[in-house]
Amino acid sequence: MTNNFKSGFVAILGRPNVGKSTFLNQVMGQKIAIMSDKPQTTRNKIMGIYTTPEEQIVFIDTPGIHKPHNALGDFMVQAAYSTLRECDVVLFMVAADEPRSTGEDMIIDRLKRAEVPVILVINKIDKVHPDRLFEKVADYTEQMEFAEVVPISALQGSNTDTLLNILTDKLVQGPKYFPDDQITDHPERFIVSEMVREKILLLTREEVPHSIAVVTESMKRDEFDKMHIAVTIYVERKSQKGIILGKGGSMIKKIGQLARRDIELMLGDKVYLETWVKVKEDWRDKKIDLSDFGYVK
């Protein structure tokens, strides 16, 4: 047993859709956090625990920081900022193909007061010409001082190993917080709910993706040695229930098929997925419903 084991907590912060969850999954080599092209896909803090014989890096994926317009939004932004008090290093992620916005400026204002090193991660470099990268770096480094600046493509996995090496350098000697085989802080039921939610994000548009919550009611092995999983999909309006069910139940069938594939991959088990759809009006603005769905501090 070596006594110079290193460990630490690394928060991934940034605006919605810059690729925070894609990066977490890329480093972990599997899907822990769901991803989509929709903002506010990630609603909770999610740990990805990366363990090697020499180190343990605990990444904390966070909801995108935005101007909240409901109680759920408030919860998400607070969850993101709260990681600043829990981490040893911050990864501030921005997208290479988008100009610095007021959203980024707001985050920078907060990060200037951070008591830990902040690394600027410029993601999605696969989308821009290398020449454009210099302008981007200059623009951001004029705003505040960063411990490092690292361009990556989370999607393609380019330069993510460099970022890992830099993080290892920044970490100091510390304990192994989690056992070797633990990869996240959330129970399987949570990830099951999230995988169902991800398919709804993929298949629906406008308000629908934001209006749903998914709860895993039960998971048990049935007599055919399959995992029998029952989930409830909550929507805010009766009309949304119609959209989720689809014509003749076609949409809910598709959601179930796609989600089942992901869940089977995660569990390494055959799955029977039972889905229910219920209406809970304006749940995103009701504290009591938010806590029922796991959106509590």
The residues binding K ion (CB under 5 A) are 17, 41
CB of 182 to ligand GDP, least distance (A): 22
Residue 123 sits in the site that holds Mg ion (CB under 5 A): no
Residue 49 C-alpha from the chain's centroid = 13
Residue 181 interface partner, choices ligand GDP, K ion, Mg ion, none, CB cut-off 5-8 Å depending on type: none
Measured from each CB, the residue nearest to ligand GDP is 19
Closer to K ion by CB, 26 or 41: give it.
41
The binder of Mg ion chosen from 25, 26, 42, 123 (CB under 5 A): 42
Q: Is 26 in the site for Mg ion (CB under 5 A)?
A: no
Nearer to K ion, 178 or 190 (CB): 190
Task: Give all strands of the β-sheet with 213-221 in edge-to-edge order.
Answer: 213-221, 227-235, 271-279
Pick from 21, 56, 153, 184 the residue near Mg ion by CB under 5 A: 21
Q: Tell me how many residues contact ligand GDP (CB under 6 A).
A: 21
Applying CB under 6 A, the span of 120-128, 143-151, 186-194, 203-211 interacting with ligand GDP comes to 120-128
Locate 215 and state its tokens. 């709860």
Stretch that binds ligand GDP, among 34-42, 186-194, 206-214, 219-227 (CB under 6 A): 34-42
What long-range pairs does 214-220 form, CB within 8 A, spacing at least 24?
Answer: 215/292, 215/293, 215/294, 216/189, 216/190, 216/192, 217/276, 219/188, 219/189, 219/192
Q: Is 166 in the site for ligand GDP (CB under 6 A)?
A: no
Q: How far is CA 158 from CA 71, 82, 120, 132, 144, in A?
A: 37, 29, 16, 17, 25
Helix (H, G, I), strand (E, B) or coil at 233: strand
Torsion of CA 25, 22, 210, 44, to 10 degrees: 50
d(Cα 201, Cα 198) in Å, to the nearest integer? 5
| One of 13, 18, 196, 229 touching ligand GDP (CB under 6 A) | 18
Which residue number, 82 or 158, has a Cβ lying nearer to ligand GDP? 158
Using CA atoms, how far residue 13 sits from 77, 79, 89, 107, 195, in Å, is 10, 11, 11, 9, 22
Site for ligand GDP in 79-118 (CB under 6 A): none
Q: Tell whether residue 41 is a contact of ligand GDP (CB under 6 A).
A: yes
Binding flag, residue 19, ligand GDP (CB under 6 A): yes
* 184, interface contact from ligand GDP, Mg ion, K ion, none, CB < 5-8 Å by kind: none
Residue ranges with strand state E in 108-193: 118-123, 148-151, 172-173
Least CB distance to K ion at residue 64 (A): 7
Interacting residue with ligand GDP among 153, 184, 211, 216 (CB under 6 A): 153
Contact stretch for ligand GDP (CB under 6 A) within 33-41, 47-55, 176-184, 264-272: 33-41
Strand spans (E) along the chain: 6-14, 46-51, 55-61, 89-95, 118-123, 148-151, 172-173, 213-221, 227-235, 271-279
Q: Which residue is nearest to K ion (CB)?
A: 41
Q: Give SS3 for 102.
A: helix
